[in-house]
Chain A
Amino acid sequence: MINWPLLSVIIFLPLIGGIIILFIKEDDLTSNNIKWSALLTSIGTFILSLTLWFQFDYSNPTYQFEEKFRWFDDFNFHYNIGVDGVSLFMILLSTFLTPICILASWSNVKKRIKEYMLAFLFLETVMIGMFASIDILLFYIFFEAVLIPMYLIIGIWGGKRRIYASFKFFLYTLLGSVLMLIAIIVMYRNTESMSIEALQGNFFLFDTQVFLWLAFFASFAVKIPMWPFHTWLPDAHVEAPTAGSVILAGVLLKMGGYGFIRFSVGMLPEATNFFIPLIMILSIIAIIYTSLIALAQTDIKKLIAYSSVAHMGIVTIGIFLVNQQGLEGAMLQMISHGIVSAALFLCVGVIYDRMHTREISFYGGLVKRMPLYATVFMIFMLGSVGLPGTSGFVGEFLVIIGAFKISSYIVIGAAFGIILSAVYMLYLYKRIIFGEITNVKLSEILDINTREKLILIPLAISVIIMGIFPNVFLDPMRLSLELIITNYELANAR
């Protein structure tokens, strides 16, 4: 079909753009050049990744666009990348959000623009590379390399407590992922293989699986994050700059869900079966507990951060139902959350740029001054609540259908969380947007400008498209997910 390495180009194009930016001298005159080159690079990457979608073969459940060559001479480690239905949309999500992030920080990042753009482009390379890896070690290298740019983004361009937040983020996630390294080596020792594709199935003894599963769990549960490992997330979100929060919520959290699907369910099916009760209990606690916490927040970003944990609870329920509806729902919920929460953080960024505060009590009555803002904010808010017709609905609905097949207690928990999410999001919306303008400082606030429209409107459109035509997104991933489910059922039927 194509004889040039499309996927490698997509992975390394941002990095090349970043290296070019490195050689642009930074001063007041050229800072726009830096921004433009970063933006164009990321848009180019996005367009290339769209061709990935158009050329994607829906009837093929395995990896496509595969590239493979031997890397380490001494053991079975390859540079091996490819895309299947699960990773396709994760890659698209990364390439879609990066230009938006760059655009979102166009005017509010004033210091060290060069390093900032470099960090984001490097982050993009690493994220795409991680989702496209078929080799476990390659996956691990990208998985950990994500920490470097994110640590710098939070630490350099973050808020007041940025240093605390960046350290917490880095060390917390590092602790999880080093345990995964041990698990990877144990897997290699037992099978002499490092290919994610070849290891899909049931290759390990049950006892080994339990330990491997726990090691992977340590890594992904921190990343996704699940209660009680979520405490790094609110800090990281609150202190990160807007674009950092967007990427964090939009893509980095999905790395955990992606890992659960690929590794825990795909490679360790018996242990997954064994641990399902644990996951379900933790997820339901996460949904209810963090929703209640979100209700009590006074900082908008923190509220959205806690709502992310709750939404990710629905994702973990969906993944560990391991049936058609559950997994599809979880995937869709991840994509939807990637867009909705990213958009919500951008919305917070819009008013933060104007007023430099995120206190909910500071705002009120914004609809009077910012009607357009109120409209887009409403779309995203409803998407987060899961109103039918928005993207959030489909995912949650599918997960709940899937859950009915297993246990109705799970359904009660998940549904309770969804109601709570409506409570805190509507309450937030009421406090910020409606009412009279009581704060004098708000009387001069301006509605969103062209750049912000350019950022928010595509996101709003995709939220609605996903809500109305979910099959566009479900069709490509269906067969890949079915393969995982078949493997799982085969392993546990014995």
Chain B
Amino acid sequence: MLDNIFGVVLIPEIFLAILSFVCLIFGLYLKKNAFRQTSNFAVLILLITLLLVYLDFESDFANYQNLFSNSSFIDFFKILVLMGSVASILISKEYFLSMKLKNFEIPILLLFSTLGMMLMVSANNLMSMYLAIELQSLALYVVAAIKRDSLSSAESGVKYFILGALSSGILLYGMSLVYGFTGSMNFNSINIIISNYNNLNLGLIFGLVFVLVGLAFKVSAVPFHMWTPDVYEGAPNSITAFFAIVPKIAAVALIYRFCLIPFEHFYSEWAQIITFLSIASMFLGGIAAIAQSNIKRLLAYSSIGHVGYILIALVAANNDGIKAASIYMFSYMIMNVAIFAIILSIKIKNEYLVEINDLKGLSRSNPIVSISIAIIMLSMAGIPPFIGFFGKFYVFIAAIKQELYVLSVLGVIASVISAFYYLKIIKVMFFDENIEDRKINFKISLQSKLFLAICLFLIICFIFYPSILINISATLEL
């Protein structure tokens, strides 16, 4: 038993959990600079956890009562989650400090949320999946509302909580149906039990649909996306950065594992649902973003659109799909880290950037920053030679190998629509004249600069040596 609890699989998670509590106590006793110290400590913890996950990269040990599983796919996504958390904590530190959001609980809550996400990625049982989702969500509900004196932050927290609780309820109900009709909670056993069914059980389909609704809420796929723009807009910028970068990675990994392991033999059933979610997300993400003037809302819709593409690869349901998803998520993560590193550093008239039009004339005062934003935007739009193009390219390869022609064509058409709003940002920066002489202050901290430089390097130079990432992603197995 002891051997199992401290089995290799969970060592990183256990380490993270214990150290998070240590960090909490550590924060309580700190009088001065509590926020700064705890966030440094949190980053250190995350980095060590990252190392632990990495060292365990290719092993396949016995797991704890089959609640969690271990595979290269899981490890890859865990590493992405950890890298995303480290990056988002570091790039947002200055923002927290200057907004006087110095609660030392923030980094600790983010640590717990990260822990939840790591468990989410590796969950191999309906129950552990649910608990992991709740762990990460509860921490996120609190951080969304962390700016207590701000109405919009509180609103976003409450909105997120109510909708999140609703979706958890639906998820739980779906899980109970799945359990009721299969008699098992374990992903692998469900797979085996279902493979014996010739035709489909109505109750099981209901269960599947309910669980997928709950998961679609977590990845914010249309039509369960309503919370995303509001929460992104209302939460403090740095929390939005975390929202945009990290939870999505974990949720995507989970929806992949959920569809491809227990319901492997129900392909035609869930593929219909996912196809619909995918098309709706791509188009709504593209069309709704056009009308946005708030940059955070725009990025929210953009992330909805990206989810649509990842779901195409899920419908493809082959090894290329898994490969495409991991490449796409990697590119999604670094593009978002880069754009948020910039957004969190731009101040206009001593206010942080909110409106897209505030970027007017940026190319005059800060040419390098505006070129960086332009590159990130083109990359998000999927224009070669940037990394975003390769993400989309692999998604379409996976789809076409599975002969999903209609879905691919709809996907590329949606990508043209979404190119419009990415170009709009470039237009505001480069084409519009800055009529009033506003002061645009770009003060970037050292660590943000470092992350920005690394991410831009990866975005631009991925094309020169793509094989590292591609070889890793080609070997991933669920």
Contact = CB atoms under 8 A, between A and B. Distances in A.
A375 to B, nearest CB: 38
Interface string B423-448: 10011001100000000000000000
B24 interface: no
Contact of B400 (A155, A170, A186): A186
B412 to A, nearest CB: 4
B423 A181 contact: no
Interface stretch (A146-154, A259-267, A321-329): A146-154
Interface string A23-62: 0000000000000000000000000000000000000000
Interface string A176-219: 00110110011011000000000000000000000000000000
A456 to B, nearest CB: 30
A140 interface: yes
Contacts of A155: 426-427, 430-431
Nearest to A137: B393
A178 to B, nearest CB: 4
Contacts of B396: 181-182, 185
B384 A182 contact: no
B430 A156 contact: yes
B412 A182 contact: yes
A185 B407 CA distance: 14
Interface residues of A, number: 33
Interface residues of B, number: 32
B431 A145 contact: no
A170 B409 contact: no
B6 interface: no
Given A144-B383, A148-B378, A167-B420, A182 B408 contact: yes
Contacts of B389: 141, 144
B225 to A, nearest CB: 24
A317 to B, nearest CB: 29
Interface stretch (A69-77, A427-435, A473-481): A69-77
B466 A72 contact: yes
B151 interface: no
A463 to B, nearest CB: 35
Nearest to B467: A73
A72 B467 contact: yes
B350 interface: no
B463 A175 contact: no
B261 interface: no
B322 to A, nearest CB: 13
Nearest to A185: B400
A161 to B, nearest CB: 11
B470 A175 contact: no
Interface string B90-121: 00000000000000000000000000000000
A148 B383 contact: yes
A189 B401 contact: yes
Given A72-B470, A73-B467, A166 B400 contact: no
17 contacts: A72-B467, A72-B470, A73-B467, A74-B470, A74-B474, A75-B397, A137-B393, A141-B385, A148-B378, A167-B420, A171-B416, A174-B383, A174-B416, A178-B416, A186-B405, A188-B397, A189-B397
Given A144-B383, A182-B409, A182-B412, 12 more contacts: A71-B466, A75-B397, A141-B389, A145-B385, A167-B420, A167-B427, A170-B423, A171-B420, A182-B396, A182-B408, A185-B393, A189-B397
Interface of B: 323, 367, 378, 383-385, 389, 393, 396-397, 400-401, 405, 408-409, 412-413, 415-416, 419-420, 423, 426-427, 430-431, 463, 466-467, 470-471, 474
